[in-house]
Structure formats: structure tokens, C-alpha cells
């Protein structure tokens, strides 16, 4: 079903890509194509979340394949930033990745970790007002890679933070914004991170924004003997 839902999006994305790669379009057209790409990626993300949650609900965890291999975390983050930069700009939000230029290699399923980052950044864009910002940062400590996504959005009350990773849960002040959403992204993200042996947490204050942090195991570096 997930494949069938995404199938109509593929030719649209190919058409957009073809238009971008032909004669350089007018600035307004170029901006419009970026917005279309952003919306396509957002809908693909929603479909992926529904697919994962359906399998979890039906106890078909074995069908959710976590294929771990050494992947460069920085590259995954940069890819997601590029995908959603235009969506953030459309709302007047600054989306940035702060890295110390050190490549961090983690043992993970790159596609699933990309899904976690997309969920966190899409939520940040949804619930941050114009003039705000979303910052992604990475660090390493004790064999773990840490990723944090901070925003200057609505924030989550301390009372509600313990429920925020439950499926279908949406904070009260988020409901009042009128922004759509099924309340699946954070519960899916929690499942993915824990399937990698990591954890995800949140720090937040109403009116001050939120900071989501998760960690993953760093891939062991084998010393090559010459």
C-alpha cells in the first residue's frame, strides 16, 4: 500500500527534476519547483510513517527491516537539510546545521535515521513561527554520536513531555495551532532510535521552543595494518 501511495509522486518528482535541469528557469519558477519538491518529500514522509506505524500496530515488527552498516551521519543530515531548506524559508525560518566538520560514522540504517531527522525537522517547521530558527547539531562522547534538533517554536509543557512520544499524542498548545498531523512522527522516531540501541529525549519550555536529542552507536574503526 505504501508503494502504491508513493507511486504517483515519482513521475511528478521526475518532471520537476527535469525542469530544473533543462534551461535555467526564471527565479520565480525555480522557487516554485523547490516548494513542489518540499511538499513531495513531506508527503512521502507521512506515508513512510503510516507504513511503519501500521506494521507496529499489527505486530509485524519483523517486516520493518533495520539494515545497519557504517554510514556518515553528517551526509544524512546535509541531505535532509537540503530537502527541507526551501520549506523552512517559505515560512521565514532559518534552518541550519552546525558541524565541527568532523565526519561521524555510525552503525545504522541510513534510511531510517533519515526518517527520524525528517520527522524532527518537519515538526520544527510546522510549529515555529516566522523569524524563528531550527538548528541541528552533532557531537560524540563515549562511543556514541549525539544529534540534537532545536527550534524556537511553541514549546511543550513539562506535564505533556512524558506523553509526547506516544502514538497519536499531540500537545494541547499544538492542537490549538490548527496545524495538521497524525501524531505519529515522534513515536516512530522513538521506535527507530531504540531499534538502533539508542534513546531519544526532549527538553522544552512553553513559548521558548524544544530540543530533541538522540544518540546512536559510533561504528568501530578498524586499524589497517600496512
CA nearest to 161, candidates 173, 152, 179: 173
Question: Measured between alpha carbons, how far is residue 19 from residues 28, 42, 88 in Å?
Answer: 13, 20, 22
Domain 69-217 has CATH 3.90.226.10: no
Q: What is the pLDDT of residue 67?
A: 85
Q: What is the pLDDT of residue 92?
A: 95
Per-residue pLDDT of the chain (226 residues; tens, 9 = 90+): 444 555 666 666 676 666 666 656 677 777 777 777 777 777 776 777 666 666 655 445 455 678 899 999 999 999 999 888 888 998 999 999 987 767 899 999 998 999 899 999 999 998 999 999 999 999 999 999 999 999 999 999 999 998 999 877 777 655 555 555 556 789 889 989 998 999 999 999 999 999 999 999 998 765 444 3
Tell me what percent of the chain is helix, strand and coil, each rounded to the nearest 5: 45, 20, 30
* 63: DSSP letter: G
Amino acid at each position: 500500500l505504501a508503494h502504491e501511495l508513493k507511486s504517483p509522486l515519482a513521475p511528478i518528482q521526475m518532471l520537476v527534476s527535469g525542469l530544473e535541469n533543462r534551461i535555467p528557469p526564471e527565479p520565480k519558477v525555480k522557487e516554485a519547483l523547490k516548494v513542489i519538491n518540499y511538499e513531495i518529500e513531506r508527503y512521502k514522509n507521512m506515508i513512510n510513517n503510516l507504513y511503519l506505524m501500521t506494521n507496529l500496530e499489527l505486530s509485524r515488527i519483523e517486516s520493518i527491516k533495520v539494515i545497519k552498516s557504517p554510514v556518515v551521519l553528517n551526509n544524512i543530515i546535509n541531505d535532509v537539510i537540503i530537502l527541507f531548506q526551501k520549506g523552512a524559508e517559505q515560512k521565514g525560518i532559518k534552518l541550519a546545521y552546525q558541524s565541527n566538520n568532523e565526519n561521524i560514522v555510525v552503525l545504522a540504517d541510513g534510511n531510517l535515521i533519515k526518517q527520524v531527522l525528517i520527522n524532527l525537522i518537519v515538526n520544527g517547521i510546522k510549529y515555529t513561527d516566522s523569524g524563528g530558527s531550527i538548528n541541528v547539531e552533532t557531537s560524540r562522547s563515549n562511543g556514541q554520536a549525539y544529534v540534537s534538533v532545536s527550534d524556537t517554536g511553541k514549546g511543550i509543557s513539562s506535564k505533556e513531555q512524558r506523553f509526547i512520544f506516544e502514538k497519536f499524542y499531540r500537545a494541547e498548545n499544538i492542537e490549538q495551532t490548527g496545524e495538521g498531523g497524525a501524531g505519529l512522527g515522534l513515536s516512530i522516531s522513538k521506535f527507530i532510535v531504540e531499534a538502533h540501541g539508542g534513546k531519544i529525549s526532549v527538553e522544552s519550555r512553553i513559548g521558548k521552543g524544544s530540543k530533541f536529542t538522540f544518540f546512536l552507536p559510533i561504528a568501530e574503526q578498524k586499524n589497517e595494518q600496512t
